[in-house]
Amino acid sequence: MESTGFVRTTMVPAVAPPISERTVVGWLRTNLFSSRLNSALTVLFLALIAYVLWQFLPWAIRSSWTANSLDECRASIKAAYGEHASGACWAVIRERYLQLIYGFYPAEYYWRPNLTFVLMLIALAPILFPRVPRKLLIFSGIYPFLGYWLLWGGSIWGVVLVVGGLAAAYFLLTVLSERYGLLVAVTSIVVGTILWWMVAVAPLQGVLHSVIPLGLPAVASNQFGGFTLSTIIGVTGIVASLPLGIVWALGRRSDMVIVRAISVGFIEFIRGVPLITLLFVASTLLNIFLPPGTSFDIVLRVVIVVTLFSSGYVAEVIRGGLAALPAGQFEAGAALGLDYWKSMRLIILPQALKISIPGIVSSFIGLFKDTTLVSIIGLLDPLGLSNAIRADSSWNGIVWELYAFIAVLFFIFCFAMSRYSMHLEKRLETGH
Amino acid sequence: MTTNTVAGAPATSFRIGMLLNDSRYRSTTIQVVVLCGLMLFFAWLINNTLNNLATLGKGVSLSFLGIPASYDINQRLIEYTSQSSHLRASIVGLLNTLLVAVLGCALATVLGVMIGILRLSRNWVVSRLMAFYVELFRNVPVLLWIVFFMAILIESLPRPTAFRGDNPEASMLLWDSVAITNRGWYVPEPLFTRSLGDLSVGGIFEISVDLVALLVVLVGGIVAARMVSRRAQQIQEDTGVRPATWHVRILLITGPTLALLFALGFHLGFPELKGFNFKNGIYMRNSLIALWLALSCYTAAFIAEIVRAGIQAVSKGQTEAAYSLGLRPRLTMGLVILPQALRIIIPPLISQFLNLTKNSSLAISIGYMDVTGTLGGITLNQTGRELECILLLMIVYLTISLSVSSLMNWYNAKVKIKER
């Protein structure tokens, strides 16, 4: 039988891509003017952008950076651009940016928040990026205490004793857990450490300080403010609320009825009330709840409340991640003979946390933004400071410039966090 | 996880160490310890509280709610004077919270759905601009947005006096029916010449009978229209021919309502400039408008992301399957895509509504008198009853949140995919 098939013996020359794929005009046609409706939308939105820029840019550019008060500012803008010109008075930022960043922290000690911030980046590096040497993690562990000491000052011996207590506790834990089992070891160590901090640290610190006086001048909490305060509250809250959130989430999925009930009650309570009511509790009610005569720092109180608040939200996100794991993972852990904590630590949590990254990071961003609420209970975060600046007679009536500055700073922080979370998602992606 | 007891395990006598080392007893031990710890903690708190209150010479009582509040609330939905009690002031505040929450949820949904869909547009300018909007609003604190919107309203809108004179600088909008000034917005109010009067509810507040009658008639019309449409469905299933019912349904919904409006003598009361300010019409203060717009725009950014994610989560195969079944694009959207997308969208959407309601407590920063501003603000400061006020405030918000989330649980159970 004769074959009618035909196989081409030479390659066909490659054809150039269609015009819509290669030229600017083609790009415009596919992306901007693909249909009548799309063309109309493009024109409409371009007009909108042009209008906003037309209104905003002259104001932002015809500005004054040199004046020392709002009146001076307006006069200089009128002198430069005509009688009816109105422009931004960025001079207020030039004059007050240090205050917006450091609050009323003594100017000669600005190096302390700066150093704390730089050290924070170093401490965070091994946690955020896997390529950084693992040994730095020890520094990350010490950092919270070091940062506290740098910011608030005082004798170094308190910090040394607290860290020493922790180190001793860790050492004892490894010894005791081999001999008496994990549960006994953990319980006794936790009780022991807390007792050490509450009873022994204060007198020992006094003794050591009188022998070798080593420390930094103390800075009171009411001098904290601006972005330093926001960052302190935000970063501490973020770091502390993740482990706490994990504990609540595990508690909520626990088989123990009472533990579950407590976790559910806590999470629903936290998620049911606005943060501002909890901040009211921190600022007014805590004195009533605590033994007579105790008063502790307002910044610390706010940090605790913000941490608890955020942990409720983180817990719900992680619970979602746990629920999304197939039951086979739990069963596989049990089949391998792992106990509860080992199977959580090695099998369940790494997967559940990976799923929950976007949610966790967005609740962290929410926490960082919510630090502005402390201005309502009278702390001087950037927003509180903007009111304080407006109370100054030379800057009375200035609004937009301050808000824009604050908004830009918050935007940078939050946007960076959301981008990092996307990067992390991609890095941990193991699917196909 | 589970405490498995092996059948036929050797029955050993009980030793005290088994409380910790035997998995049958360990969880009970832990729970008892936790419960005792928790009870001790609460006992300690309550003891401290009672001691501290005794030192201050205060007891715990709610009698302060009965005494006259003696402060004014300028934006209110029900009758209130400075002689009214603190309880009534709190109710006015609660209604203000609910007002801004309902208005905000409505506007945020509209804006959010629009932005979420536009963000999926293939038009480069449109999708980029919407992405910019979302990032801008999500990454700046909501408190900043609230004070910012308030500043815009106060600084950039015309004063009421600018509307005066023969050649005014500012003019009213929409055929002289809406006046937007830097003191607030004036919009037309619905009036009835043959009103049915008001109905007192438990002596606390009054409800307009006209409004109730209108709602009843409207809901009745909608129910009747649905019955007609169900009957048409039945006929279609029996005979294969669907009778045209849209005109009957429109008539059923609008007819009785319009007739009632006419019977009541419905007309609009327009705001008028009298002297230095506007009179008549509904007056919405700046603080309400600023809070409303700021919360809506902020929440809309989150809703847009939810809507986008929900639509993207329905796989493309669903659309293709619907097309291969011969469904038209509109039916595909209505019968295949939207029901699946809504199941994903609704739960986070409702939690955004709750967030908006909780964020409305920030009203205190711009002087809008919501429940935080009255009960947790001026009432607290005047009576010095921090404990009672803040606890009541928390209970109010908890009640709102828990009732909405139980509604959400009901919905989730209803739309859950039925599996084996």
For the segment A186-243, what is each residue's pLDDT rounded down to a tens digit? 778 888 888 887 777 777 777 777 777 777 888 888 888 889 999 999 999 998 999 9
Distance CA A424, CA B210 (A): 58
**Residues A330, B1: C-beta atoms closer than 8 Å:** yes
Comparing A397 with B147, which gets the higher pLDDT? Answer: B147
Within-domain flag for B361? yes
| Closest Cβ–Cβ partner in A334, A372, A400 for B1 | A334
End-to-end CA distance of chain B: 25
| Together in a domain, B335 and B370 | yes
Contact list in B for residue A41 (CB cut-off 8 A) is 121, 123, 125-126
Instruction: Tell me, yes or no, whether B28 and B132 share the same domain.
Output: no
**Contact criterion met (CB below 8 Å) for A151 and A113:** yes
| Contact (Cβ atoms closer than 8 angstroms) between residue B242 and residue B232 | yes
Look at residues A218, A213, A226 and name the one whose alpha carbon lies nearest to residue A112: A218
Question: What are the DSSP calls for A146-182, one per residue?
Answer: HHHHHHH-EEHHHHHHHHHHHHHHHHHHHHHHHHH-H
Q: How far is A277 from chain B (nearest CA, A)?
A: 7
**Contact: B52, A288; criterion CB under 8 Å:** yes
Per-residue pLDDT, B12: 64
Return d(Cα A256, Cα A139) in angstroms, integer.
Answer: 37
B43 and B113, same domain (yes or no)? no
- Examine the domain organization and report whether B327 and B352 are in the same domain: yes
Measured between alpha carbons, how far is B23 from B29 in angstroms, rounded to an integer?
10
- Searching chain B, which residue's CA lies closest to the CA of residue A258? B31
B23: containing domain: 18-56
CATH number at residue B97: 1.10.3720.10
Whether residues B76 and B49 fall in one domain? no
Q: Are residues B407 and B359 in the same domain?
A: yes
Amino acid identity at A299? V
The residue extents of the domains of chain A are 36-89, 225-432
Q: What residues of A are in contact with residue B401 (Cβ under 8 Å)?
A: 271-273
Report pLDDT for B398.
93
Residue B26 is given by DSSP the state: H
Please write the tens of the pLDDT for every residue from A140-166.
Answer: 888 888 888 888 887 888 788 888 888
Out of A30, A31, A372, name the one closest to residue B143 (CB). A372
Residues with Cβ within 8 Å of residue A118, at least 6 apart in sequence: none
Q: Domain check: are B411 and B298 in the same one?
A: yes
On whether any CB of chain A is under 8 Å from the CB of B39, the answer is no
How much is the pLDDT for B120? 83
Which sign does the torsion angle of CA A23, A26, A31, A33 carry?
Answer: positive
User: Pseudo-torsion of CA A308, A386, B148, B350, nearest 10°?
Assistant: 0
Contact between residue A403 and residue B151 where contact means Cβ atoms under 8 Å apart = yes
Contact B398 A292 (CB under 8 A): no
B397 to chain A: closest CA residue: A273
Residue B341 falls inside a structural domain: yes
| Chain B interface includes A1 (CB < 8 A) | no
**Residue B399 half-sphere exposure, CB side, CA atoms within 13 Å?**
8
Within this chain, do residues B320 and B386 fall inside the same structural domain, yes or no? Answer: yes
Phi and psi at residue B42, in whole multiples of 5°?
-65, -40
Domain count across chain B? 2
Q: Is residue B199 part of a domain?
A: no
Dihedral angle computed from the Cα positions of residues A280, A286, A287 and A293, in that order, rounded to the nearest 10 degrees: -150
Mean pLDDT of A381-410: 87
Which among A262, A277, A403 has the least Cβ separation from residue B148?
A403
pLDDT, mean of residues A243-262: 91
Q: Distance between CA atoms of A305 and A301, rounded to whole angstroms?
A: 6
Spatial neighbors of A235 by CB under 8 A, at least 6 apart, are A120
Tokens of A215: 């420390």
Of B34, B48, B55, the CB nearest to A290: B48
Q: Determine, yes or no, domain membership for B301.
A: yes
Tens digits of residue pLDDT in A20-74: 677 787 778 777 777 788 888 888 989 999 999 988 888 888 877 787 888 888 8
Contact status, residue B116 vs residue B306, Cβ threshold 8 Å: yes
Q: Is residue B8 part of a domain?
A: no
- pTM score of the predicted model: 0.85
- The chain-wide mean pLDDT, for chain A, equals 85
- The reported pLDDT for the residue numbered B2 is 47
Out of 3.40.50.970, 1.10.645.10, 1.10.3720.10, 1.10.1780.10, the CATH code matching A225-432 is 1.10.3720.10
Q: What integer pLDDT is reported at residue B203 of this predicted model? A: 63
Residue B99 located in a structural domain: yes
Do A292 and B55 lie within an 8 Å CB cutoff?
A: yes
**Any idea how long chain B is?**
420
Instruction: Judge if B30 and B109 occupy the same domain.
Output: no
- CB nearest to A289's CB, from B49, B124, B144: B49
* Backbone φ and ψ of B200, nearest 5°: -80, 130
In this structure, the answer to whether residues B70 and B52 fall within a common structural domain is no
Residue A403 to residue B365, Cβ atoms within 8 A: no
Q: Average of pLDDT values for A300-325?
A: 91
Say whether both B71 and B42 belong to one domain: no
- Backbone phi and psi for residue A254, each to the nearest 5 degrees, phi listed first: -75, 160
Same domain, B133 and B103: yes
Write down the pLDDT at residue B11.
58
Q: Which residues of A touch B407 (CB under 8 A)?
A: none
User: Within a domain: residue B267?
Assistant: no
Residue B209 counted as domain residue:
no
* Averages of pLDDT over each 10 residues, chain B, 420 residues: 51 70 79 91 90 82 82 79 84 90 92 89 86 92 92 81 69 72 79 73 71 86 89 88 83 84 77 72 84 94 92 87 89 85 86 91 88 87 87 92 86 71
